Amino acid sequence: MLAVVTVLMAALVSGLGAVGVARAASVDTSGWYVLVNRGSGKALDVSGVLAQVHSVGRVKDAGNTVQYSWPGVYFEGRVRGTGVGIVLNDSAADYDVQIDGATVTTLVTPGNTTHWINGLQDREHTVRLVKRNDTPGDISTFGGFVAAPGGAVLSKPAARSRQIEFIGDSLTVGYGNLSTSRTCTWDQLKRNTNSDVSYGALTARQLNADYQINGYSGRGMVRNFNGGDPDVTYRTFYDRALQSVSGDVWQNPGTWRPQVVVVNLGTNDFSTAVNPGEPWKPDSLAAGYRSAYGDFLQKLRAQYGTGTTIVAVGAGQYAGHVQHVVKARNDAGDSGVRYWFLDDSGLDFLGCDWHYSARDDRLIADRLVPFITGLPTGW
């Protein structure tokens, strides 16, 4: 098993200096940041975390902070100076911190702290914070980036023009993908899950696209893994920013208009036999799955409009059902729904509990990218 610990590299690429020892500091939650316009050099007072970072994840704006729970949520910013502080309140999730494109440390359940990366060269740097794992029962809080004394937080990076949304279960999350053993304890699973190297994140980076990883482990379209939690499914949580808050609805700021949405749901519906007492028989499960899938695609179409191509992924036992749903949508006049067969040949499934390994995620991304580039997205 790959042990994931907080590691501060002595020297970094891209002109970074030595990385200093992290320290905790008191958190200023005033919510006001001094941003410096790159062109004029003039400082402007701007309120709120989202004024200083670029993020496309499903976050709930609280002004001084943002809250979130989906995996793969990331924040990108720019700072000038010799250090950057990362303001967090999270005792459940892990994070990678990347400076100028290089991962410099992994924060394991950091708690309520400002984590500092010091010893950088005194110049402009990009900083990226990414949530590695799924913690649907918890709420994560990010309070922004702060500059070391003498430095400044600069205007946020520009958004990418391309956007992709990935909808799915643990295979989309990146569940245990860094593990070298299929047998994992709960702690090993958490430390070895990294949504930032899931097939979705890798696909988006190859295409230079912003992305959302809206994955929820164990959930299905109509039936969860082994028939568990029968009163809810993935569809129960899709609209939420905070998965654990019943009735919560993510407020799209109007900037999230993905040209491509990739749906990969079905493994949990069909991977285990129906148990006695479940409200399903094999035939009714298949029919219920197809009906719910069609309704979900219609929901996505209404939500994003005809300019979004929806890719329905078929694999294993549910491939034929997905094909059936796609054909029905196409026959109804929606040519913007496409079927993609996930070819699992050559995959080793060495992740925890027989999930994709990081190697598998790379192979899948390499197979998915050419398909997406062939879609009529205008890319």
Point out the residues that are catalytic.
170
Q: Of 374, 372, 376, 366, nearest to 343 (Cα)?
A: 366
Spell out the residues 6+ positions from residue 173 whose beta carbon is closer than 8 angstroms to its own. 71, 72, 133, 134, 193, 195, 198, 213, 215, 216, 217
Sign of the dihedral defined by the CA atoms of residues 237, 242, 246, 249, in that order: negative
Q: How far is CA 342 from CA 170, 187, 198, 199, in A?
A: 15, 30, 15, 11
Q: How far apart, in whole angstroms, are the C-alpha atoms of residue 234 and residue 221?
A: 6
- 339 φ, ψ (degrees, to nearest 5): -100, 135
How far, rounded to the nearest angstrom, does the alpha carbon of residue 169 sit from its chain's CA centroid? 12
Torsion angle (degrees, nearest 10) of CA 269, 272, 276, 282: 60
DSSP codes joined into one string, 356-374: --HHHHHHHHHHHHHHHHT
Q: How far apart, in whole angstroms, are the C-alpha atoms of residue 63 and residue 48?
A: 4
Burial of 225 (0-12, 13-18, 19+ CB in 10 A): middle
Strand partners, 309: 260
List alpha helices for the chain, DSSP H.
170-173, 186-191, 199-206, 234-237, 267-270, 282-304, 319-331, 358-373
Q: How far is CA 183 from CA 158, 177, 186, in A?
A: 42, 12, 10
